[in-house]
Structure 1
Amino acid sequence: MSGEQWTWVGIGVAVLFALVGAFLVLSAREPGRHAATSRPSRDTFRRPDDEPPPRKRVAVVVNPTKFDDLDGVKATLAKVCAANDWAEPEVHETTPHDVGFGQTRAALADGVDLVCALGGDGTVRAVAQEMVGSGVPLGLLPGGTGNLLARNLEMPVDDLERAMTVALTGRNRHVDAAWLTLDPEHLELEEGAGEGSSAGERRHAFFVMAGLGLDAAIMDSTSEQLKSRIGWGAYVPAGLRHMLTERFKVTLTTDGGPPESQRARMVVIGNCGKITGGIDLLPDAEPDDGTLDVIVLAPRGVAAWASVAARVITRSDRTSATLSRYRCQTATVEVDEPQRVQVDGDIIGEASRVAVEVQERVLVVRTESRRTAV
């Protein structure tokens, strides 16, 4: 072999060794092959004197009249926050002049990560109304006799520590908000109704149910002291007093369709289905389906009331002269005589005409339900 040929053989061997060496180097860099080439942890770059990341913050809007030992309640909330590495809760107490609207606005403006409502259904409604569209999660803490939104979302209603844990660590569920507008041309607003609401005195959010007629009259005449002593059973005496009062004419228009008129005792519009006592008044209602469920009750006497009760208990969806059911996204209710109006148990005045509409999935609620988590 000539000298020139040996030169080319040497070059070929050198190239071969270079390729093998490159392969070995690249193989050594594959993840998991050699610990010496693994990525350093984030703490490697943190100096010992660096500040830890700030803890998340929660504001709790509480109705102090619902508790005999408010200091004990605050201690429980602080204990749960510490156990979950959250900052100490910032507690905002409601007042007779502001039942939660202003306190919630202040908390949101302060940039908290979570707002919890701790009180009755009225406190929950006020806090939730201000949080619509904010994107900040709402925690539901048991503090009243009803706790209806929490019950409908299958949340803890008898254990404050557990409910606070769910609020801090649970999953987010987006639910609907329903809005009821009182017609300004046919309104007798009660003194103080809607005070503190950023939505104004004629437009009110609700998240469980609104109603005209009998149900509002029952709620209006039920003693708060009696509710605190015996719970939802306090509504029974008021119901017996009002159940046979004079019926009124109601005209219902749903989703812009033709109006329907009948004599009735009450009209209920629901975003959720369950009411006090675990009764499933609107069995098809879901809080996140973008739909409102409406019933018109028109029993004439005791026997007719018994029939209505049987249909509610058996969750019958059949429409009759005593109980009519509707599903819609908007509705207008007109009555021939002004009737009391309630939203989530709050009496907001009397009106001859109201309009309702649903706003789909605009409120974020912390829940432990896996089925509906998003």
Structure 2
Amino acid sequence: MYLPCVSGETWTVIGIVVAVAFALVGAYLVLSSRESGRHASSRPARDAFRQGTDDEPPPRKRVAVVVNPTKFDDLPAVRATLAKVCAEQDWDDPVVLETTEHDVGFGQTRTALKDGVDLVCALGGDGTVRAVAQEMVGTGVPLGLLPGGTGNLLARNLEMPVDDLERAMTVALTGRNRHVDAAWLTLDPEDLELEEGAGEGSTAGERRHAFFVMAGLGLDAAIMDSTSEQLKSKIGWGAYVPAGLRNMLTERFRVTLTTDGGPPETQKARMVVIGNCGKITGGIDLLPDAEPDDGLLDVIVLAPRGVAAWASVAARVITKSDRTTATLSRSRCQTAHVEVDEPQRVQVDGDIIGEATRVAVEVQPRVLIVRTENGRPNGG
């Protein structure tokens, strides 16, 4: 084979280049080996990431139950039922917080939320539900509704169990969330605006009240105020009938209603009801168009003068007639201002909160999460 003539200097250069190349390759291999060994010694074993997963399960969810102890003859049995359902659903033992004469659920709910529970349940009458729900508005924590009173009106309107504590507790722990509206009623709002320093914990807090079913002034508040609690515990919603008969023919008052800032309308009336839900005690659908999550308030003004007029009103309520007449008018709105010519008793979800000549009501859409069986009906 013929080889070109190459000088000695050229071969020297070629040899140096080859030697340097081999040196670089060798150095790279050594460094790679050391780097791999260093990583191998410092990298944790794959099983190290799994430590505790088999032996330490995640913490169980926690629920607080705000209960009105006066509603139950055997509170230990109630506690046992709640604990049984929690154990079956793999929740921690329930934290049971009892209401008192001086705090019907507001402070207990704040305590539960501060403790970071995953769910708060109200177990008592409509007043207990209202107090608990008011504190939970906007918190993002779900509310469970447990039957413990005569009406259980919010639960009835949401088609929840109202006669089975165990089933209701199961729904609270495992059901679907439904976002419902909150309505806020302020007593004598013009007077409040004139007061200085009306902040949280002052007269503002005392005059502004949340409700989730209905508020009213006039006859319905008078009925609720004069109904015996002992009779309610014995015969249920039928206890309202005697009070209704005693008050149904009292003197009418003049009311001026303004909705959504429109023109005021004045008429004689016996009661004004503003509802977020439609069903009342006895299964009567007083406000058939009302939905708890539609962002609207339904207002009804009743003004019958005698027994015959009351019979006509009853017929219209039963048939769900939406026709407006001098004895029964309906409207829908987001805000309402009611002014009467003489002080009237005012109720929110069955609680008498005082007397007033003016009230202002506004709706706060979908700010309360309620645990239900099926979420919103019709897939909405």
Alignment of 1:155-194 (within 5 A): 155-183=160-188
Q: 1:104 to 1:237 in 2, by over 3 A?
A: same
Alignment of 1:266-345 (within 5 A): 266-345=271-350
Q: Given the alignment, which residue of 263, 266, 276 partners 2:268?
A: 263
- Alignment partner, residue 135 of structure 1: 140
- Alignment partner, residue 11 of structure 1: none
* 1:277-305 alpha-carbon deviations (Å, 9 max, x no partner): 00000000000000000000000000000
Matches of 1:211 and 1:43 in 2, distance apart?
A: 63
- Alignment partner, residue 87 of structure 1: 92
* 1:79-106 alpha-carbon deviations (Å, 9 max, x no partner): 0000000000000000000000000000
Q: Given the alignment, which residue of 59, 65, 69 partners 1:64?
A: 69
Q: Which runs of 5+ in 1 are unaligned?
A: 1-40, 188-195
- Alignment partner, residue 208 of structure 2: 203
Question: 1:130, 1:198 within 8 Å by CA — same for their partners in 2?
Answer: no
Q: Which runs of 5+ in 2 are unaligned?
A: 1-45, 193-200
Residue type at the aligned position of 1:207: F
Deviation of residue 51 (structure 1)? 2.0
Alignment of 1:43-54 (within 5 A): 45-47=50-52, 50-54=55-59
Matches of 1:362 and 1:322 in 2, distance apart?
A: 34
Q: What secondary structure, in the 3-state scheme, does the structure 2 residue paired with 1:75 have?
A: helix
Q: Given the alignment, which residue of 342, 349, 354 partners 2:354?
A: 349
Output the TM-score relative to the length of structure 2. 0.83
* 1:149-192 alpha-carbon deviations (Å, 9 max, x no partner): 000000000000000000000000000000000015669xxxxx
Question: 1:186, 1:352 within 8 Å by CA — same for their partners in 2?
Answer: no
Output the TM-score relative to the length of structure 1. 0.84
Residue type at the aligned position of 1:361: R
Residue type at the aligned position of 1:213: G
Q: What secondary structure, in the 3-state scheme, does the structure 2 residue paired with 1:349 have?
A: strand
- Alignment partner, residue 195 of structure 2: none
* 1:212-251 alpha-carbon deviations (Å, 9 max, x no partner): 0000000000000000000000000000000000000000
Radius of gyration: which is bigger? 2
Residue type at the aligned position of 2:145: L
Asked if residue 73 in structure 1 is aligned to residue 78 in structure 2, the reply is: yes
Deviation of residue 65 (structure 1)? 0.1
Deviation of residue 50 (structure 1)? 3.8
Q: 1:347 to 1:44 in 2, by over 3 A?
A: same
Q: Given the alignment, which residue of 105, 119, 123 partners 2:128?
A: 123
CA RMSD of aligned residues (A): 2.1
Size of the alignment, in residue pairs?
Answer: 327
Deviation of residue 52 (structure 1)? 1.5
Q: Given the alignment, which residue of 250, 259, 262 partners 1:254?
A: 259
Matches of 2:73 and 2:158 in 1, distance apart?
A: 27
Q: What secondary structure, in the 3-state scheme, does the structure 1 residue paired with 2:282 have?
A: helix
Q: 1:47 to 1:255 in 2, by over 3 A?
A: closer
> Equivalent pairs: percent with the same residue?
87
Question: 1:212, 1:267 within 8 Å by CA — same for their partners in 2?
Answer: yes
Higher helix share: 2
Q: What secondary structure, in the 3-state scheme, does the structure 2 residue paired with 1:201 have?
A: helix
Question: 1:154, 1:369 within 8 Å by CA — same for their partners in 2?
Answer: no
Matches of 1:241 and 1:283 in 2, distance apart?
A: 27
Matches of 2:324 and 2:126 in 1, distance apart?
A: 30
Asked if residue 55 in structure 1 is aligned to residue 60 in structure 2, the reply is: yes
Residue type at the aligned position of 1:341: V
Asked if residue 365 in structure 1 is aligned to residue 361 in structure 2, the reply is: no
Matches of 2:50 and 2:311 in 1, distance apart?
A: 73
Asked if residue 145 in structure 1 is aligned to residue 145 in structure 2, the reply is: no
Question: 1:122, 1:344 within 8 Å by CA — same for their partners in 2?
Answer: yes
Question: 2:279, 2:285 within 8 Å by CA — same for their partners in 1?
Answer: yes
